[in-house]
Amino acid sequence: MAHEINTPLAVILLHAAQLKRKSNNASSPNQTIITKTEIIEKMATLISKIIQGLQSFARGGEDDPFHRNSLHRIMEDTLILCQSRFEHNDVTLILLEIPESLAIDCRSA
Cα 89 from Cα 92, distance rounded (Å): 9
Q: How far is CA 40 from CA 2, 11, 15, 46, 108, in A?
A: 19, 12, 10, 10, 29
**CB atoms < 10 A from the CB of 28, how many?**
6
Give pLDDT tens digits for 62-103: 888 899 999 988 888 888 888 888 888 999 888 889 998 999
Query: Do 79 and 36 share a domain, yes or no?
Result: no
Give pLDDT tens digits for 1-11: 777 888 889 99
Query: Do 5 and 48 share a domain, yes or no?
Result: yes
Query: Do 50 and 72 share a domain, yes or no?
Result: no
Query: Do 53 and 77 share a domain, yes or no?
Result: no
pTM: 0.64
**Containing domain of residue 107, as a range?**
66-109
Task: Please give the tally of structural domains in the chain.
Answer: 2
